[in-house]
Structure 1
Amino acid sequence: MTDVTPSRDEPPYRRIVKEIRRRISEGELTPGDPVPSTRRIAQEWGVALATATKALTTLRMEGAVETRPRAGTVVAAAPTTTARARGHRPQGPSTTGPTPAPTEQELTLGRIVRTAIDIADAEGLSALSMRGVAARLGVAAMSPYRYVTSKDDLILLMADAAYGEQSYPGTAPAGWRARAELGARTLWTLHRRHPWLAQLDSLTRPLLVPNLMVHGEWLLSALDGHGVDTTTLFDIHVLLYSHVQGLAVHLEREAHAAATTGQSEDQWMDSRTSDLQALVQSGRFPTFTRVVSSFGDGYDLRLDTLFELGLKALLDGLAPVIEAGGGELHG
């Protein structure tokens, strides 16, 4: 554990900031390299998550680090000046520096929701906290509570905002299948952009927010008008949504696993080579052995490819059901 025992006039987060600045200035961390996450800082320096968040927020506001979706916080692509790296703010106006934090008077619900989405995109939903949002915004810890009563309520607002980022054309494509494909691909795009969305609900306890309903309305209207009974109509709509969510849930899980283990997907697989060889050499799984042995450089699991393959299979299978008025699905 790194020592962050503060001097009488220096809070712990400043010690962390100085140490990460040192690593950057001495080349231990170079542009694009990940810096420790809030959880890693909390563990390494023995501080609270709020302190770790404040340290990263300070570095971000100075321009030393930047947040990239799913990559987390990394050393800024454009190295900061020596003066800024030492904690001195440049004099005079700047058109290229980081956006200044809002004052208490400038704080709005929209800023809070957008900041929370940025945190969840970069570090996962587990890294989200009300204190962390306040620290990222540079306001008092309790300030966000003036606009939203709890983290759970904030997450609902985040989901509604995220699902509202894409809409549909006023003139729909011709044919139920083209409309259903557009609806499914739009949802997949949003889940790709915000992987934490797939963690929020289950099919039995759906997320009831207006902008998700927009996507549901689009899919239902695409399937309606073909003589399909309402139960079958809704079942098909749920199946299409579950295809998106079922694959998207692995986006967040992989990001969390990479952050926890420090290994990429390929590195993790490489570390399991001996286990895979043992299964192949056991002789118990001949089909698996034949298929795996045919890959050469290995199997590349591509979620986008699986999404398209599954969507085509679903719609191919559902086509006679819809076009026959739903009689074959429950018959």
Structure 2
Amino acid sequence: MPRNTLTADRIVQAAIELLDEEGLDGLNMRSLAGRLGSAATAVYWHIKTKDDLVRLAGDAIWHEVELPDLDATDWRTAATAQATGMHAMLTRHPWLGQAFGSQPLYGPGQARHTDLSLALYEKAGFTPADADRAAATVLVFVLGSALGPAAQVSLNRRLSRNGANAEQSMTDALTRSTEIALGFPRLRERLGTTAASEYAAAPDNTFAFGLRSILDGFEARLTADRADRHA
């Protein structure tokens, strides 16, 4: 593809697709150029470095998360919708969680969500400083909750690349971890009713339970603060 038929948006979209399929380790300008039917030099004309490309791709996918209308709903419903949307986006694009730990990420897509989060928790009744803390708490929880699915995607990718030996290694690791778990009473009790492979995954509704618990805590704090102000 000639250089002048490429655009930064087309390159970023192709990079997102490649990242979804191959992860951060699979992204390089040569592979991306091949996907675009172009020369790597043409890609560099629009986007100078791999770090720039990851930053742009990482910001673009924030636009997949719908912003709740704070004027049309209560703060808690809005907080649940935003956090759930972020979690779904991170699960669809597991490489973004890895990217957070490897380079600075910023851009208008992420900024609009940060700004909305601050407005959301100020609407709930937090001071600006506490709204910062509330928004950061939820973001860290969402990122942490997405690590499990992201790790599973990376593991599945590794298994598919390495074939039978990797699959046997995984089976051996699961057998050994089960043997260790049987030495602990609560783990032994649970493994007595659940397959080891199923118990290794997060229990059903873990994300919803955790988010609800965090928002319950926020609500209790706001109620206590209001009581203190009127005491």
Structure 2 residue 191 is matched with structure 1 residue 292: yes
Say whether residues 1:106 and 2:16 are aligned partners: no
Contact 1:195 1:252 in 2 (8 A): yes
Residues 47 and 53 of structure 2 are in contact (CA less than 8 Å); yes or no, is this contact kept in structure 1?
Answer: yes
Is 2:191 aligned against 1:315?
no
Select which of 138, 163, 173 maps to 1:272: 173
* 2:85 counterpart of 1:211: no
RMSD of the alignment, in Å?
3.0
1:129 equivalent in alignment to 2:28: yes
Q: Using structure 1 for the length normalisation, give the TM-score.
A: 0.60
Once the two structures are TM-superposed, the CA of residue 249 in structure 1 deviates from its matched residue by: 2.5
1:163–1:212 Cα contact (<8 Å) kept:
yes
Shift of 1:165: 2.5
Aligned match for 2:47, one of 141, 145, 148:
148
Structure 1 alignment gaps of length 5 or more: 1-101
1:175 aligns with 2:82: no
Larger RCO (CA under 8 A, 6+ residues apart):
2
Percent identity, aligned pairs only?
28
Pair member with larger Rg: 1
The equivalent of 2:128 in structure 1 is: 230
Q: Deviations over 1:2-36 (max 9, x none)?
A: xxxxxxxxxxxxxxxxxxxxxxxxxxxxxxxxxxx
- CA displacement at 1:180 relative to structure 2: 0.6
2:13–2:57 CA contact under 8 A, matched in 1: yes
Q: CA deviation at 1:169?
A: 4.8
Unaligned runs of 5+ in 2: none
Distance 1:182 1:133 in 2: 34
> Which structure dedicates a bigger proportion of its chain to helix?
2
- Aligned-partner Cα distance in 2 for 1:201–1:113: 18
- Please give the alpha-carbon distance, in whole angstroms, between the structure 2 residues aligned to 1:267 and 1:218: 47
1:109–1:148 Cα contact (<8 Å) kept: yes
Q: How far off is 1:104 after superposition? A: 3.1
Secondary structure of 1:167's counterpart equals coil
For these two proteins, the number of residue pairs brought into alignment is 223
Q: Pairwise mapping of residues 15-34 of structure 1 onto structure 2 (< 5 A)? A: none
C-alpha contact (below 8 Å) 1:120/1:196 kept by paired residues: yes
Distance 1:292 1:150, change over 3 A: same
CA distance in 1, matches of 2:226, 2:50: 42
Classify 1:274/1:196 alpha carbon distance in 2 versus 1 (closer, same or farther; 3 Å). closer
Which amino acid in 2 is paired with 1:215? H
